[in-house]
Structure 1
Amino acid sequence: MPAAAQPPQTQQDLHAALRTRMIQSGEYSRIMDALRAKLDESGWEDQVRDAAREKARSQDPPNLHSLVKDLEPTALNMIPQEARAEVEAMVRAFVEKSVE
């Protein structure tokens, strides 16, 4: 079947293909390292750890699966906007370079 006649990929397929390409090129590791550095600078890990402790104290008995499920949205919202913007710019640059 010619490429033009193939059905469009789903967003999930595109994300998987992009992630694979990023991993193979080494770009994924570089972006993750930059993100970790930004999160370390901001104290994000300590903030998430404190929130997890508070949440775990309120659980009887503490449950890791439930804790992670409850804490994930909070942890994601705690990521500094500067870190988000930097990672988005790095991914966007990779995609633009890959599409050329």
Structure 2
Amino acid sequence: MDQQQKELAQIKAKIQNHLISSGNYDIINKQLKLKLYESGWYDKINQIALRELNDNSNINFDQLYNFIKPKAQDLVPDNVKDEINVKIKQYLDHVVQ
């Protein structure tokens, strides 16, 4: 990891720590969960997991997680991504000013 990557990692850690300590992480996280629930995302992921478990009874948790993770990320609706990104940007704009 070069110096620039280290500095970026430090900045990300500081932002995350500030988000958590300010309580904004919980607020944004709750909004994300609600939007995902409303969009039917949880149901879709549950169906994918059940289908995989039925097709492959020898699968362990790590394998199931690795199978589902990219699908789960792809299935997040664009409007949900956009709304949460706006919330994070608003928070960062407020903190940086």
Query: Is the shorter-chain TM-score for this pair beyond 0.5, marking a shared fold?
Result: yes
Distance 2:11 2:48 in 1: 34
Q: Deviation of residue 70 (structure 1)?
A: 1.2
Would you say 1:57 and 2:54 are equivalent positions? yes
1:14 and 2:11 equivalent?
A: yes
| Secondary structure at 2:76 match in 1 | coil
- Counterpart in 2 of 1:4? none
Q: Which is higher, the Rg of structure 1 or of structure 2? A: 1
Q: Give the C-alpha shift of residue 11 in structure 1.
A: 2.5
The amino acid across from 1:18 in the alignment is I
Runs of 4+ in structure 1 off by over 6 angstroms are none
Equivalent residue, structure 2, for 1:68:
65
How big is the alpha-carbon RMSD for the aligned residues of Structure 1 and Structure 2?
1.4
Equivalence for 1:23: 20
Letter matched to residue 80 of structure 1: P
Instruction: Give, as a single letter, the amino acid of the residue that structure 1 aligns with 2:8.
Output: Q
State the secondary structure of the residue aligned to 2:66.
Answer: helix
Distance, in Å, in 2 between the alignment partners of 1:17 and 1:61 is 41
Task: Tell me the residue number matched to 2:37.
Answer: 40
Q: CA deviation at 1:62?
A: 2.2
| TM-score (norm: length of structure 1) | 0.86
* Richer in helix (by share): 2
| Residues matched between the structures, number | 94
Q: Please report the TM-score for the alignment, with normalisation by the length of structure 2.
A: 0.88
Structure 1 stretches lacking a partner, 5+ long: 1-6
